[in-house]
Structure 1
Amino acid sequence: MAPATGDDAPDSDRASDAASRPPVAAALDEFDDGLAESVASSLTGRSDVVAVGVPLALLPPILAARDETTGGTWRVACRPGAVEPLARALVLGTAVAEAVATGSLELRTAADLGPRSGALGGARTCFASADRVDAVAGPASARTLVTEETAERVAAAGRAVRDRFASATPATVGMPARSRLLATAAETLDDRFATDLAAALDALPYGALGRSGDLTDRTLLVALAARHDHLLWDLRRWISGETQPAGGAREGGDGTRREAERVGVAAGQDLTDDRRRLVRRGLIEAIKVPVGDGRPRLRLRAVDDALLRATPTEVLSVLRGRFALPVDEDGRVESPPGSDGRRPVWERTRRGKN
């Protein structure tokens, strides 16, 4: 019998699926695709946009429209609580941070409007430019974008939007800009890893991965690193932002890297559980290798043939397939598919680095 899906699925299954979704993915579903498309279409080509009351769900269409528009800086004031989740959203967070770093967006956080009256007509989310104002209106189940182009009303509403943005608080995205993330990946690990990561991020939906559950954004990063036999220690340095200084210009007075130059995605120690889950499922192995004095370090190595053969854009699909397999009480897959465990160790270590 096929598994129940959609309306045929038990309530408990649907609740479990919803609970396992990344928080950002759930937030992005606040509005339907039709509204997102309307927002993107409305904003494309407008060089002087000022937006207020923007929820997390509307950041993707804003980015899409901004990518299709040249010149100027769009000023965007988000709702309270909309920016903080970006620090745990690798794909969306690095994209928003890139737009801020390049001057495409100026990001702030503004309090809600309060009484639903005045020049904005009570709308919480508004987009203003010189000759038009758009507002999200309607009940939660049927949101739509309405446009005002009457000169007098546009002038009044535009002033209200700009005043509200001016009173908003500058916001910081807790993720590095995408270009900075990739540059330090190449510096700390290598170009091959950075190229794989760039392709994977470009292909992933904004809400594809979160920080909870068995399969996280960190799991993907460990798997990508294992495809190129990197040391876990190097991956930890990079993911936590503790990359080696490239010169005095990046160092503080005590020789440490300046905080402004750090590009941390997560704490390095957070990789331990992800690495163990990948090992237990037969996807990678962690080999102890002597590196100078002190304790041996772990070299990550992919041993699953599907993971090795996959293109960067297919890696997440491979991981999802393996993580969907049943495991024993120790979290191990019995006879993992694609494992090369029968190969002599000298064959499996031939790809290793000295």
Structure 2
Amino acid sequence: MSTDVTVLDQEFTDVIHAFFEESNSVLIVNPAPDVFQTIMLTAASFNDELPTLQVLADPNVLKASLEDFILASQVADLIDQGSLELRTTTDIARTSLLVSDDAIVTVVTLDAGLTGLRSTDDELVENAQSTFFDDWEDGDAFTLRTPPLSRIQGTLSEEFGDEVEGDFTMIVESAETIPEEGGDLDEVALALLVAANNEVLLYDISKWGEDIGLASKATFSRTKTQLEDRGLIETEKVPIDVGRPRLRLLLAPGDLEDVDSLAVSSS
């Protein structure tokens, strides 16, 4: 077996990008959280045709990484497009690897940054494929409940107009992370604040959120109350022909006066 190994002296995102360009399929084995995040975000922004991506990871890594709504919704897009499949195993104690038909990249940390050791040695690649694809076949499917970001954006535009969708997208793009349900300003709170900025009815935004699988109406109602208690939103009653009046969401006067200040506060 030859020692055809190259240290990739470039940004890790460039390593991933180049590996995607030359591969038809990539098996990502045991990614650490920062490795998983970097690979997924690179895949989400990849402009050319993606190879088929298969991730075999510790379940705790996936659960922890996908608590961030921004990452989870983009990973959901990749799954929805048929470009990505996630599986888990606890029987894996190896470094992070990327394996294609022709090469293998071992991810290493140098000077507090990520880089890779790339090998095209036929025997090494063949052994890695044989070992890790068997592990892949034995892995458990990982279910992601977060809806795809493109579905969220598209349905917001369809239901409420481009301004509401634009406000939501601006916040998502300006924030580094958005914690999943239960965080300080999770995706439900942000949806409600964007709705308030555009004076949308609570009934309409909560029905939209439940229909696309973002959260239940009860979660929207509970989060609305929490935002009211914090002085971030207000409501006004809107009479309807039959039944109880609906509630229109409004941003409360004060520090949070528009969606631009919301983008700053969530970043």
TM-score by structure 2 length? 0.80
Q: Distance in 2 between matches of 1:87 and 1:44?
A: 22
Q: Does 1:159 align with 2:130?
A: yes
Match of 2:6 in 1: none
From 252, 265, 272, give the equivalent of 2:214: 265
Match of 2:74 in 1: 95
Task: Between 127-136 and 141-150, report the one with greater CA deviation.
Answer: 141-150
Structure 1 pair 35–57 and aligned structure 2 pair: CA distance change class (3 A) = farther
Match of 2:199 in 1: 229
Secondary structure at 2:248 match in 1: strand
Task: Between 62-71 and 151-160, report the one with greater CA deviation.
Answer: 62-71
Match of 1:43 in 2: 19
TM-aligned CA deviation for residue 221 of structure 1: 1.4
Match of 1:298 in 2: 247
Q: Matches of residues 311-322 of structure 1 in structure 2 within 5 Å?
A: 311=260, 314-318=261-265
From 101, 113, 118, give the equivalent of 1:130: 101
Q: Distance in 1 between matches of 2:151 and 2:125?
A: 39
Match of 1:60 in 2: 37
Higher relative contact order (CA 8 A, sep 6+): 2
Match of 2:4 in 1: none
Match of 2:88 in 1: 109
Secondary structure at 1:82 match in 2: helix
Q: Is the 8 A contact 1:49 1:127 kept in 2?
A: yes
Letter in 2 for 1:218: V
Task: Between 126-135 and 104-113, report the one with greater CA deviation.
Answer: 104-113
Q: Is the 8 A contact 2:209 2:217 kept in 1?
A: yes
State the identity as a percent.
25
Match of 2:186 in 1: 216
Structure 1 pair 224–72 and aligned structure 2 pair: CA distance change class (3 A) = same
Letter in 1 for 2:173: D
TM-aligned CA deviation for residue 97 of structure 1: 0.5
Match of 1:289 in 2: 238
Structure number, greater radius of gyration: 1
Secondary structure at 1:291 match in 2: coil
Structure 1 pair 202–316 and aligned structure 2 pair: CA distance change class (3 A) = closer
Task: Between 230-239 and 124-133, report the one with greater CA deviation.
Answer: 124-133
CA offset digits 1:87-136 (Å, max 9, x no partner): 6432111100001111222222233326xxxxxxxx24221012221223
Structure 1 pair 129–319 and aligned structure 2 pair: CA distance change class (3 A) = closer
Q: Distance in 1 between matches of 2:265 and 2:98?
A: 41
Secondary structure at 2:247 match in 1: strand
Match of 1:181 in 2: 152
Letter in 2 for 1:274: T
From 198, 202, 209, give the equivalent of 1:239: 209
What is the root-mean-square deviation of aligned Cα atoms in Å?
3.0
Unaligned stretches of 5+ residues in structure 2: 1-9
Q: How many residues matched? A: 254
Letter in 1 for 2:124: R
Q: Distance in 2 between matches of 1:289 and 1:310?
A: 23
CA offset digits 1:158-203 (Å, max 9, x no partner): 2222222222223221111111112222333333212221222233
Letter in 2 for 1:165: W
Letter in 2 for 1:208: I
TM-aligned CA deviation for residue 50 of structure 1: 1.2
TM-score by structure 1 length? 0.62
TM-aligned CA deviation for residue 225 of structure 1: 0.5
